[in-house]
Chains A and B, each alone.
Chain A
Amino acid sequence: MSDLNRLTIAAARDLLKKRAVTSRELTEACLAAIDGAGALNAFAHHTPDLARERAAAADARLAKGEAPAMCGIPVGIKDLFCTKGVPSQAASNILSGFRPEYESTVSQQLADAGSVMLGKLNMDEFAMGSSNETSVYGPAVNPWKVDDRKLTPGGSSGGSAAAVAADLCLGATGTDTGGSIRQPAAFTGITGIKPTYGRCSRWGIVAFASSLDQAGPMTKDVRDAAIMLTAMSGHDPKDSTSANLAVPDFEAALTGDIRGKVIGIPREYCMDGMPEEIEALWQNGAQMLRDAGATIRDISLPHTKYALPAYYVVAPAEASSNLARYDGVRYGLRAKLGPGDGVTEMYEKTRAEGFGREVQRRVMIGTYVLSAGFYDAYYNRARKVRALIKRDFEMVFADGVDAILTPATPSAAFGLGSMADADPIAMYLNDVFTVTVNLAGLPGVSVPAGLDAQGLPLGLQLIGKPWEEGDLLNHAYVLERAAGFVAKPAKWW
């Protein structure tokens, strides 16, 4: 069978169970695809030997008839996840050479479920970015292309998005602090879900902003997202914010029936200067859900406008604290010191050399808003606004809304380098539709819903109630089937 790397997780799983293909064959197909896709710069670290070892183990399990959900499925892991003995450097120079002595809970769960890790995926440094351009490895490249320009796959999970869209793996892990799963998923025509805060353990994932970070799957369709999310989820005593709740079979929730459900359309998400295509896509999406028997209701989330500024206080504040651990002592880089340099010079030179520009900027912003005299004016105020943003959602859900439909991004993928001279705020605006969800801790999913006039994918976002990822994915499944998005990027790499 050819093109095994193009299979969905669900299709591969069924073939593996029938013994019609082996994990070895699937894995070799993906490794060959990765070897031929250097131009996409999606994989930063390759682990073919480990992959072959895990594929052999998966085939042995399958032969014995014990096949957990992800058994034998080749996946990519974002570089933010610590993987034992394998470089895990969050796309930062400051973690160069770091090989963890331990495995993150999520990647361990995926391994226990039989999946095969192909390597580590490119991303923005410490997950801070929306275009993958802050990566120490250089940017991952979007497999979608409409002219001579190389386009961004989005960020921060840009390598994950590029790898899944280009069929280099069957699925990939991402993480999402302000939109880092959903925005790249939308830019590359794939599905990505950020689950409820606390659904997936954060243990072993390099921390950016601990009250916002969540891991989630990035896959070729909604069913695959449900399968992979089930394997990634669950209570972990090693993460004090991990929810002690049973994990439902999310795939079983995909009934395709949303009759009688109420879909909210938040009027504040209609932004000035929003491209007509995005507006039209949004209206089409609402019509598709209406045609499926749902009721469409106009709703208001009045504090939406303040989500981005609140986020850009809270996230850098938490980052400045989390990134204090990179001091040149315990792991990673230590700068070359001059004669007479003491501990302070070691810290300052190491962090100046090790952190890229955007990371330095955010660490300093965070330091400033937490410093004496500004804590109340910035940090506490932002946390109060965050409480109001969360309350907006709670009131809408209490009013009977089952899911909220919004655009995923304010534009399609843009050219790499095209934002080089823009101020940082222009880049931050990429997260305008996604960031509210992180502040409120809610689940959100991006589903590919169409192409723009240039022929680039556009996504719609559905936002659900806490812990109702199954119901949310079912809405996404209905939208996916109605939109019928099947386009794939033409291979140029």
Chain B
Amino acid sequence: MSINTETARKVAHLARIAVKEEDLRALAGELSAVLAFMEQLNEVDVTGVEPMTSVTPMRLPRRADVVTDGNIQSQILANAPDAREGFFAVPKVVE
């Protein structure tokens, strides 16, 4: 399947990556080339095959639903580009 600039714009937005208007054409071309490569998968007969979900046949381990850590606010915030009064700060979300 070939991707047009409109689809490229939509994908970029879904991925939350700003792409300049003039770069959308080239991006669409690149994405189309990679997708064309993937088209080979259509040659394979996958009738009755279950999609692979886990790499090794093991049951996902479980543990008791209890709090095992916490009280590390300063560590959580230590790398934030903008942290104030014990919170992550972001541009205004609600008008």
> What is the interface of chain A, defined by CB distance below 8 A to chain B?
97-101, 196-198, 211, 237, 240-241, 243-244, 303, 305-306, 308-310, 312-313, 320, 324, 327-334, 337, 341-349, 351-352, 355, 360-361, 363-365, 367-369, 371, 378, 380-388, 390, 423-425, 428, 441, 466
Contact = CB atoms under 8 A, between A and B. Distances in A.
A306 B44 contact: yes
B55 interface: yes
Given A342-B92, A387-B49, A367 B14 contact: yes
B33 A424 contact: yes
A343 B46 CA distance: 42
B88 A382 contact: no
29 contacts: A97-B79, A98-B79, A99-B79, A100-B79, A197-B56, A198-B58, A211-B55, A237-B63, A305-B40, A309-B38, A309-B40, A312-B38, A333-B81, A346-B90, A346-B91, A348-B13, A355-B17, A361-B34, A363-B15, A364-B8, A367-B14, A371-B14, A378-B35, A383-B53, A385-B46, A386-B51, A388-B46, A424-B34, A425-B33
A320 B15 contact: yes
Contacts of B50: 384, 387
Given A101-B78, A423-B33, A425-B33, A371 B11 contact: yes
Nearest to B77: A330
B31 to A, nearest CB: 6
Interface in B19-47: 19, 27, 30-31, 33-35, 37-44, 46
A326 to B, nearest CB: 10
Nearest to B14: A367
Given A309-B40, A441-B56, A425 B80 contact: no
A329 B81 contact: yes
Contacts of B43: 306
Nearest to A352: B18
Nearest to B29: A423
A330 B75 CA distance: 11
B60 interface: yes
Interface in B47-92: 49-56, 58, 60-61, 63, 72, 75-76, 78-82, 88, 90-92
Contact of B12 (A310, A364, A371, A428): A364
B37 A237 contact: no
Nearest to A324: B16
B23 to A, nearest CB: 10
A57 to B, nearest CB: 24
A347 B38 contact: no
Nearest to A199: B56
A313 B41 CA distance: 10
A329 B80 contact: yes
B65 to A, nearest CB: 15
Given A313-B41, A342-B92, A378-B38, A351 B53 contact: no
Contacts of A240: 60-61
Given A328-B81, A361-B34, A385 B44 contact: yes
Contact of B51 (A101, A371, A380): A380
Given A196-B56, A361-B34, 10 more contacts: A101-B79, A197-B56, A241-B55, A329-B80, A329-B88, A343-B91, A352-B17, A361-B31, A371-B14, A387-B50
B56 A466 contact: yes
Contacts of A349: 18
B90 A343 contact: yes
Q: Across chains A and B, which 3 residue pairs bring their CB atoms closest together, nearest first?
A: A383-B51, A334-B81, A441-B55
Residue among A383, A384, A387 with max Cβ neighbours from chain B (10 Å): A384
Contact of B52 (A309, A364, A371, A387): A387
Given A97-B79, A381-B46, A386-B52, A365 B14 contact: no
A284 to B, nearest CB: 32
A182 B8 CA distance: 34
B88 A364 contact: no
Contacts of B56: 196-198, 241, 243, 441, 466
A275 to B, nearest CB: 22
Contacts of A363: 15, 17
B37 A364 contact: no
A388 to B, nearest CB: 6
A298 to B, nearest CB: 23
A341 B13 CA distance: 15
A364 B27 contact: yes
Nearest to A326: B16
A214 to B, nearest CB: 10
Contacts of B41: 306, 309-310, 313, 378, 381-382, 385
B80 A361 contact: no
B79 A332 contact: yes
Contacts of B54: 211, 241
B92 to A, nearest CB: 7
Contact of B16 (A243, A348, A361, A428): A348
A447 B13 CA distance: 44
B42 to A, nearest CB: 8
